[in-house]
C-alpha cells in the first residue's frame, strides 16, 4: 500500500478481502494493541516506515456517488474550493451523495503548516476574489442547501485574516437564499477581536472555531496557533453574539490523555461554547503526524455523555465526526434554546448559597 492510498481505496480493498494479505475483519482487529489498529511496515530500505492500519470503524463510505462528477463540474466551473477535497475528508462520498459540501473561501493555499492537515501550505498566490461571495451563494442555491457551512484557509497575509470576505459571503447567502442558516468555521484571526467583530456583525447562526487538540500538544500539532488565543476568540464571539451558537471541535488519537480532554472540555464550556464535535484523527499522508491511538466507538459515546453532563447543548462524538459532518441535522434554534437554558441553570444560585 503506498503512502498516497486514499481512505476510499483502503475501504474498497478491505471489502474485497485483500487488505495487505488479511481479511477485512482481521485487518481491523488483529494486533490492535493499546494503540488500536495493527502496525504494519510500508516501503523498503531507508524509506520504510511504520503505519498503524485504520480500523474498520474509522473508514468512510468507499463507493463514489453518481452525483460526484456533477458536483465537481459545478464547483470547478465556479472556481470554488471545498474542504471536503482539500482536507481529504473521509466523509466526502457520503456527504456529496446528499449534495452537502463545505465551501473553503480565499483559495486552497494556507499560510500555516499544521501537522495534521493536508491542505497545501505556502504563500497564497492572490488576494481573495470579491466575486467568490456571489459564486458561493449561487452554488448554495443550486444545491438547495438549508444549512450553508463556510470555512477558509488561514490568511495571515491579510490585515483582517479574511474576516471581511467571510462576512461578505454570509451576506451574499442571506440575499440569495434567506431561508438558509449559515455556519462559519473560522481561523483564529491571530487573536484580532476586531476581525471577530467584523464577522459577527454579519450574524451567522453558528460561529465555529476548532481548538483541534489539547493545549499540551499544540507545539507539535498546531505550531502556528495558541490554545489561549483560540479560546479567547470563542469567548469573544459569544460575548458579541450571545444569541448565536458558538461551536468548537477537537481530534483525538494524537497522544492526548483522558484527563487532558476533560480539562479541555471544561475550558470550552467556560468560554461559552454551546456545541461540540469530537472525531478521530486520521493521518492524511506519511508526511503528517502519525496516529498514536484509534479510539473505540464506545469511548466516543462515553465522552459525549460526559460533555453533555458539562452543559454542552449539542454534542457529536464519533470516529468519523468532523466539524461540518451532518451539520444541518441539528437545529440551531433548538441548540440555542438548550444553550440558554444551560446558562440560566449555571447562573442560578443554589438555595443553600442564597440563604442568609
- pLDDT of 20 above 90: no
Read off the pLDDT of each residue in 302-322 and give the average, rounded to a whole number.
95
The yes-or-no verdict on residue 18 having pLDDT over 50 is no
Q: Is 336 left (phi over 0), alpha (psi -120 to 50) or beta?
A: alpha
Tell me what pLDDT residue 334 has: 62
Res 327: pLDDT: 66
- Least confident segment among 6-15, 65-74, 161-170, 244-253: 6-15
Confidence of residue 60 (pLDDT cuts 50, 70, 90): confident
Taking only the tens place, the pLDDT of each residue in 230-243 is 999 999 999 999 99
pTM of the model: 0.80
Q: Cβ(51)–Cβ(40) under 8 Å?
A: yes
**Considering only CA atoms, which of 193, 201, 124, 125 is closest in space to residue 160?**
193
* Residue of 2 and 342 predicted with greater confidence: 342
Q: CA-to-CA distance for 182 and 242, rounded, in angstroms?
A: 16
Q: So what's the pLDDT on residue 41?
A: 62
142 pLDDT band (50/70/90 cuts)? very high
Mean pLDDT of the chain: 82
What tens digit of pLDDT does each residue of 188-206 get? 999 999 999 999 999 999 9
Contact 183, 205 (CB under 8 A): yes
pLDDT above 50 for 81 = yes
- By percentage, how much of the chain surpasses pLDDT 90? 56
Q: What integer pLDDT is reported at residue 10 of this predicted model?
A: 37
Tell me the mean pLDDT in the region 302-314. Answer: 97
The answer for residues whose C-beta is within 8 angstroms of residue 54's C-beta and 6 or more apart is 7, 10, 28, 37, 282, 294
Q: How large is the average pLDDT for residues 149-172? A: 96
Check residue 350 and give its pLDDT. Answer: 46
Average pLDDT over residues 204-214: 97
* 270: nearest Cα among 244, 248, 303, 301: 248
Amino acid at each position: 500500500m503506498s503512502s498516497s492510498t486514499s481512505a476510499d481505496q483502503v475501504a474498497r480493498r478491505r471489502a474485497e478481502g485483500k487488505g495487505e494479505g488479511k481479511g477485512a475483519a482481521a485487518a481491523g482487529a488483529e494486533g490492535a494493541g493499546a494503540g488500536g489498529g495493527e502496525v504494519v511496515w510500508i516501503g523498503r530500505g531507508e524509506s520504510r516506515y511504520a503505519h498503524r492500519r485504520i480500523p474498520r470503524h474509522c473508514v468512510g463510505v468507499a463507493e463514489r456517488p453518481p452525483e460526484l462528477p456533477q458536483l465537481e463540474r459545478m464547483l470547478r466551473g465556479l472556481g470554488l474550493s471545498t474542504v471536503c477535497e482539500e482536507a481529504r475528508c473521509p466523509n466526502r462520498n457520503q456527504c456529496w451523495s446528499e449534495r452537502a459540501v463545505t465551501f473553503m473561501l480565499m483559495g486552497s493555499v494556507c499560510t500555516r503548516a499544521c501537522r495534521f492537515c493536508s491542505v497545501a501550505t505556502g504563500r497564497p498566490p492572490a488576494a481573495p476574489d470579491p466575486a467568490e461571495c456571489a459564486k458561493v451563494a449561487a452554488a448554495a442555491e443550486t444545491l438547495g442547501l438549508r444549512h450553508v457551512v463556510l470555512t477558509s484557509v488561514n490568511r495571515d497575509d491579510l490585515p483582517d485574516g479574511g474576516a471581511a470576505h467571510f462576512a461578505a459571503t454570509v451576506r451574499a447567502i442571506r440575499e440569495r437564499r434567506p431561508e438558509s442558516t449559515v455556519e462559519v468555521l473560522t481561523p483564529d484571526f491571530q487573536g484580532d477581536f476586531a476581525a471577530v467583530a467584523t464577522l459577527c456583525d454579519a450574524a451567522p447562526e453558528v460561529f465555529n472555531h476548532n481548538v483541534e487538540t489539547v493545549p499540551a500538544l499544540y507545539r507539535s500539532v498546531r505550531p502556528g496557533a495558541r490554545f489561549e488565543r483560540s479560546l479567547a476568540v470563542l469567548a469573544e464571539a459569544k460575548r458579541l453574539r450571545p444569541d448565536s451558537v458558538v461551536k468548537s471541535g477537537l481530534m483525538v488519537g494524537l497522544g492526548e490523555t483522558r484527563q487532558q480532554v476533560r480539562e479541555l472540555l471544561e475550558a470550552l464550556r467556560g468560554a461559552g461554547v454551546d456545541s461540540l464535535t469530537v472525531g478521530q484523527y486520521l493521518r492524511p499522508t506519511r508526511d503528517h503526524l502519525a496516529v498514536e491511538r484509534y479510539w473505540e466507538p464506545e469511548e466516543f459515546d462515553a465522552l459525549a455523555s460526559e460533555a453533555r453532563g458539562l452543559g454542552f447543548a449539542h454534542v457529536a462524538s464519533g470516529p468519523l465526526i468532523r466539524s461540518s459532518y451532518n451539520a444541518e441535522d441539528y437545529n440551531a434554534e433548538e441548540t440555542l434554546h438548550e444553550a440558554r437554558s444551560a446558562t440560566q441553570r449555571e447562573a442560578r444560585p443554589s438555595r443553600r448559597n442564597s440563604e442568609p
